[in-house]
Amino acid sequence: MKANTNLITDHQLRKLSEQIAKNRIATTASERDLKRSFPWDGIRALGEAGLLGVVV
C-alpha cells in the first residue's frame, strides 16, 4: 500500500477552512438562522474540501 503524500500544512488547513467559512457558510448564515434550518450546504462544502473524513 502506498502512503498518502498529499498532506497539507497547518497554515494551508486554516486558510482553506477560513475560505469555506467566508465564501460558503457565512453567506447563507442569516437566512438559515431565520428559517432555523441545518447548514447542509456548509457540511457539503466541508466534505467537498475533504475536511470531514478522518485519516488514520
Q: Hey, what amino acid is at 52?
A: L
20-43 pLDDT tens trace: 999 999 999 999 999 999 999 999
Q: Is the pLDDT of residue 45 over 80?
A: yes
**Domains of the chain: which residue ranges?**
10-49
CA dist., res. 22 & res. 53, Å (int): 21
CA dist., res. 15 & res. 9, Å (int): 10
CA dist., res. 2 & res. 25, Å (int): 35
Angle (CA) 44-55-52 rounded to 5° is 15
31: DSSP letter: H
* pLDDT score at 17: 94
